[in-house]
Amino acid sequence: MNSPSEMWYSITNEEVVFTPSVLIYQERVRSNLQQMIELAGGTSRLRPHVKTHKIPELIALQIELGIEKFKCATLSELEMVAQQGGKDILLAYPLLGPAIEYFLKLCKRFPSVKFAVTVDSYEAATALNTASAQAGLTTAVFVDLDNGMHRTGIAPKQALQLIQAIQTYRNLEFSGLHVYDGHIHSADFGARKQQTEQDFKSVEDLVATLQQQGISVGELACGGTPTFPVHIQHPDRTLCPGTPVFWDEGYTHEMPELKFQPAAVIATRVISKPNGYICFDLGYKALASEMPHPRLRFLDLSIDEVINHSEEHLVIKSKQASELSIGQLVYGIPKHVCPTIALHERVYVVNQQEVVKTWQVAARKRIY
């Protein structure tokens, strides 16, 4: 069992907490953001991803700390950031269908905000250009590059022609390159750095070609959290980490050189003890479950075996079963915090080990 001094996560007013839920520790959030800024050498190169938290108050906090640029994955996130006063917002997701019209409506609704969106195909670029012309707007675009992730993005060797085509469109403005190297996550920093640099060579070749042809590269928005400490070392790159605001159990093990503190904790209660096991009210509707077990680390309880994880229940075997009582609140750090947060309508905010309020996870909702 942890000593009282180690139980930073324990709250004094557990009786007000519904479970399963997420507790956000304000002091740790601020400390993580300050450390992120310090590592980046200031705020000018930061474009943090908001997908981890989706919370308006945390956009406001980052703006208070001097961050002006943000990266989003959804229109809901984009709208939330604009509403909170973000000045420069990149939607790193291809727009197609009715999403294009909604995006352009946001551009008109927030005329002082610098919006941009990624494209990786002629089809998406053409559709966006046509809609922008009809709306009487010029849309800033980043070309999304695939340097190994193989999710979205065009191969750097093929990107030149797309960029040249974009420059012929009257209602698109080529504003930069976007590179997400999320396929790189070795726990060994040396190996992670080597792969990051190796996989970035094709991007550097493209940048050199663009410069030779007199094409301004604009912004080079790079990486996520795993490659954040690598891209830091290149002053010409904008940095796009997301997870440091909350941190999680997965990155604690995958990136031991980064010393961010877990700031988002799962609260769950023992609801039954069948056959000597422990059953919690923590199904996969409240905890990200795309990965194998363990999907969280309990902070004061060891898991010997996961017996069952279903929609509303988590059943485990533990040598400490006799120490827990029905109704007892137990704390844990999720392995993957980003999708876990998206499963919750609101989160509890903890200050000095007391729940003081809730925040709405506003951008978890779809816009339709």
**Within a domain: residue 125?**
yes
Note whether 111 and 192 are same-domain residues: yes
Q: Which of 225, 246, 267 is at the close of a domain?
A: 246
- Please indicate, yes or no, whether residues 143 and 214 belong to a single structural domain of this protein: yes
| Within-domain flag for 252 | no
Whether pLDDT at 38 is above 60: yes
192 pLDDT higher than 90: yes
Q: Are residues 190 and 322 in the same domain?
A: no
The reply to whether 18 and 97 lie within a common domain is no
Whether 51 and 197 map to the same domain: the answer is: yes
Same domain, yes or no, for 85 and 190?
Answer: yes
One domain, residues 184 and 324: no
Judgement on whether residues 162 and 133 belong to the same structural domain of the protein: yes
Let me know: does 127 contact 96? Beta carbons within 8 Å. yes
Task: Write out pLDDT tens, residues 315-341.
Answer: 999 999 999 999 999 999 999 999 999
Is 253 contained in some domain? no
Q: Which two tokens stand for residue 84?
A: 């909170």
Enclosing domain of residue 357: 4-23+259-364
Same-domain pairing of 240 and 347: no
Same domain, yes or no, for 106 and 180? yes
What CATH number did the domain enclosing 16 receive? 2.40.37.20
Specify the number of domains making up the chain: 2
* Residue 292 in domain: yes
User: Per-residue confidence at 2, pLDDT binned at 50, 70, 90?
Assistant: low
Which has the closest alpha carbon to 334: 17, 21, 16? 21
297: part of which helix (H) or strand (E)?
strand 296-298
Whether the CB-CB separation of 217 and 263 falls below 8 Å is answered with: no
Q: What is the mean pLDDT of the chain?
A: 97
Cα 131 from chain centroid? 29
User: Is residue 292 located within the same domain as residue 355?
Assistant: yes
CATH at 224: 3.20.20.10
Instruction: Report pLDDT digits (tens) over 63-90.
Output: 999 999 999 999 999 999 999 999 999 9
Phi, psi (5° rounding) for residue 96?
A: -145, 165
> What is the pLDDT confidence band of residue 128, given thresholds at 50, 70 and 90?
very high
Neighbours of 101 (CB within 10 A): 13
Q: Say if residue 1's pLDDT is above 70.
A: no
Query: Is residue 140 a part of any domain in this protein?
Result: yes
pLDDT band at 306 (very low <50, low <70, confident <90, very high): very high
Interval 236-291: pLDDT, tens? 999 999 999 999 999 999 999 999 999 999 999 999 999 999 999 999 999 999 99
